[in-house]
Structure 1
Amino acid sequence: MAKLTTLARNKSKASGQNTTNLQTQAKLTVISSVQQYEFKEDIKRLHKGEQIPKTSPLVGGQTSLADFPYDERHPLILPKKHHVSTLLVRHYHQGVVHQGRHLTEGVLRSAGVWIIGGKKLVSSVIYQCVTCRRLRGKPVEQKMANLPEDRLTMEPPFTRVGLDVFGRWSVVTRKTRGGAAESKRWAVLFSCLGTRAVHIEVIESMSTSCFINALRRFFAVRGPSKVFRSDRGTNFIGAYYLSNEGCTWTFNTPHSSHMGGSWERMIGIARRILDAMFLQAGSTRLTHEVLTTLMAEVMAIINARPLVSISTDSDSPTILTPSMLLTPKAGQWQHVQGLANTFWKRWRQEYLSVLHPRRKWTHDKDNVQEGDVVLLKDEQVKRNEWPIGLITKTFPSEDKKVRKVEVKVVKQGTSRVYLRPVTQLILLLPRSSETKTDKS
C-alpha cells in the first residue's frame, strides 16, 4: 500500500492523477500483496534464479509469443481460495450485468487476471449471487412426501374424498325472440382417494350454496364420507363451516396444486373425454340436461378404467376397475361380495405396488429455515416484480422435511403473511450464510 500512501500524502500529485490510474495502481498493489503471501516460496526461487517445480500452479502456458495484449499473455495470477479473488469475480460479474459464467470469465481474462481454478470460483460466486437468483433462480424442491393414510386404507368407496371444481361451459337456458339466453355451468369432481372412483355433479355457479347442494346430492347417492381434501377455494371453506355431516375437512396449502394431484389427474381425464364428446356432437348447442348426461357418461367411462396393467394371464381375466365396487346388482349378493373381496385382494397386491415408487422429487434436499430471505412467485406479475419475503414459520412433515412455510412480505407499505408451499419460493439468502465469513 506504499504507493497509495504516497499519493494520499502528496495531494498535488494525486489531484492530477487520473482516477482510473489510481484504481489500477490500487488493484496491482493488492494483487501483489496477495501473491507475495500465497506464492512466497515460488517467488523466492525466481529471485534466486532457480526453476519453479512442475507441481507449482504457476507453471504453464505456451502463448507468450502470441499476438495478444500483454495482459492476456502474462496475466496476474491469483489463488482460488482467497477473499481478494472472490471480490474480483464479484466486481467483474457485476460489470457484465450479472450474466453467466462464460461472460464473467471472459471479462476477467480480458482484464489480465488469471485465477487458479477460476471456473469453480466463478460458478460458486454466481450461484450465491442474490441478483442472479432473483433473475434466474429455480424454485425450492423437496423430496416427495409419503402417501397419506387416505390413499392406503381399505374402506368403502368415497369414505375419503378429494375434490375440486372444473369448467366452465356455456349452456342454453331459454330461448327468446332475440335468440337464445346462455348461462355458465361448472362441475364438481369427487375422487375416492382409495379406490380411485369418481363422482361428478354439475353446478350453476361457484357459490357456496351451489356447492353445498352438490355435496348433499353426493351424500344421497354415495353415502357419507369421513375425510375431504381440497384446495382453499372460498366455496369449499364456506362448505366446511356450514356442513353438519360430521366429516373432517383438510385444506391444501394455497398455490400447491401438486398436493392435489390425485384428483387433478382425474379432472384431466374428464376434460379429455369431454373434448372428444363435444367433437362428436359438432355444433349442437349445449343445454343443462345434455351437459348433465355427458357428465354421467364421463363418470361411467372413468370408473371403468383399469387401475393396473391388464394381465395376459388367462387365470385372472377380471380387470381391476373402480366400477367393481360401484355397480352391485340386486339379487346377486354373494357375487357382489366375491367381487369386493377380489377387488381388495388385488388392490393390496397389485395397485399398492404401483404407488410405491416416487416418480419425481426422489432425493432429500436441505430444508428452508426460519429467517431465510426468499423470492415469492406470483404468476400475475413479471418476475422482476415478485416480492421479496422472509420465512417466519416452517411446518415440518412427519419425515422432518419442510414443504410449506409462512412468508412475510411487504406490499404497498403493508406487511402481510402468506402460507405457501416451498415450490413457490426461490431462495435468495439462507439464514446460515449470515454466520459465514470469507476466509482470506
Structure 2
Amino acid sequence: MGNLPAQRIKADFPFTSTAVDLACPYLITDRRGRGCKITKCYLCLFICLRYKCVHLEAVSDLSKDAFVLALRRFIARRGKPAELFCDNGRSFVAAAKEINVFFKLHENDISDFAASQGTKFKFAPAYAPNFNGYAEAGIKSAKFHLKRVLGNTHLTFEELSSLFSQVEAILNSRPLCPLSSSPNDFYPLTPGHFLIFRPLTSLPAPPLQDRNPNRLDRFLRLEQLRQHFWKRWSAEFVSLQQQRYKWRERQRDLQLGELVLIKEEGLPPLLWRMGRVVKLHNGKDGVPRVADINTARGIVKRALNRICLYLYNIESPERGSFSAPEYVSALATQPASNQPMMCGDAAQDANNVRRDQRPIRKCDARCHVSPIRLIPRQRTTLISILQSNHRSERACPRQL
C-alpha cells in the first residue's frame, strides 16, 4: 500500500480538498397528484478528505450544466475547494473544461488573486474507482439504505432535496472520538463540529416507523423515510464498530473512564447514547463481561457486546502505556516525524515488515465512512483545530 496523500494529514479548513461522485438515479415527479410525469434525479456527493464531512446535492440530470449548478450551491454553503477529486465522468470533465476556459478568457478582468485561487480538478484513471475511494465509500453509505427506504416512492424534487439534506445531517452526526478526557463529558467529536462548531440536532417528531404509509400525508411520509434511514444506517454503523476477533489470544479490556457508545434501539435521529465506564463486572474466568456506564440519564448496566469503545489506549515502547487523551495531547506537542504513521490494522503487521525497513500505511478508502479508522495524526489535527477555535473569538463547541 502507498503512503497516505497530504490532503489526509495536513490541517486545513473543511472541504478544502474534496472528492465528488454521482449516485444511481431516483425517480421523481414534476408535481403532486395524478397525471404527473416521472423523471430521473441523481445524488451528487461531496466529501471532505480531511474530516470526512459529507455534503449531498440533488442533480436533475447528468449534464454539465446540472453539475455546475450543484457545484455552485456547494461552494455557496461550504466555501470554494482548492482541490476537487473526481472520476472521468463526462459531466465532471466538461465542467472542469468550462471553468478552466472561463478563467483563461477572463484572466485580465478578474484580479490576479481570484484567478490564482481557482479550483484544481484532479481526475482518477479510467476504470479505477479505488482512486476515489472516499467518495465511493460515502456513496455506498448514503445510497445503500436510501434505495431500500424509498422503494417505489416517487417524491418531488423539493422533497428529495429535503430528504438528502436530512440524510447529510445523519451522516455528519456520527461520533469520531471523545471530545475531552473529562469523566463527566459524554459528548463525542463529530464531523458536524467542523461545520457549525457544535453537534448537529434535529427537530422533535413523533415515531412513525410503525405507521401505515398510506394513511400519512406527504410531510409525515417524508419524516417516516428519514426515521427508517436512521434506524437502518445507525444499526449498521454500530455493527461496523464492534470488531470481532478470533479468540486465539486475549484482547485488551475496557478501562475505567473510557468513552463508549451504547447500542440501543428506538432512539430518535441524530441521537447517539454515549457514556463513560465506571465499573467492570468480571466473570468466573476473571474476564470482564458486564460494565456499569455513567450516562446523562444515570448509570446503566450493559453487556460488553452492546457497547462500542472509542479511541483505544495506545502502547508506546518509549513511553509505556497511557490513555488515549494523554496520547493525543502528547502527540500534539511532539515534533513532526519524517516516518509515515500507520492506521487501522497496519500496526498489527508492523512486525512482518520490519525486516524490509519499509513503513506501511493502510488506507481505508474502500471501507465505509468509519470514524474509528482515523490515524492518530488526524485526531490530533481535529482536536487542535477545536482548541484554536476555543482560544479565538469563537466559543467552544460544548458551550454553544
TM class by shorter chain equals 0.3 to 0.5
Identify, as 1 or 2, the structure richer in helix.
Answer: 1
* TM-score, scaled relative to structure 1: 0.41
TM-score by length of 2: 0.44
